[in-house]
Amino acid sequence: MEIWINPACSKCRGALTLLDEEGASYTVRRYLEDMPSEEEIRAVLGRLGLEPWDITRTQEAEANELGVKEWARDAGSRGRWIAALAAHPKLIQRPIITADDGTAVVARTDEAVRDALAR
């Protein structure tokens, strides 16, 4: 199990606390420092069953600068979104846990963290 975190994020810290309380074995990826490639983002999206716009933090200043709210949300625009997430990882929703069964969850709630643990 791997968890993508931003240490400054309270949701990330909460997820780590819960994982520790449950005695989970996991690896931490500080994705702002160890930036995921486009290929890794595609793989995580496949595991999540989501599209890149579903995990984009559109309220971030970088998102406003890029104008992502105006971007099309269709198959033809998917690559543009993925490239933006790879170039600007701060836009990636967090935390993301990749579960042992090959799936992943955006773990913003205790329930989502527990769901990842149960997989």
Write out the catalytic residue numbers. 9
Instruction: Report residue 29: phi and psi, to 5°.
Output: -120, 115
DSSP 36: P
Give yes or no for a contact between 80 and 53, defined as CB atoms under 8 angstroms apart: no
Query: How far apart, in Å, are the Cα atoms of 3 and each of 18, 73, 96?
Result: 12, 26, 6
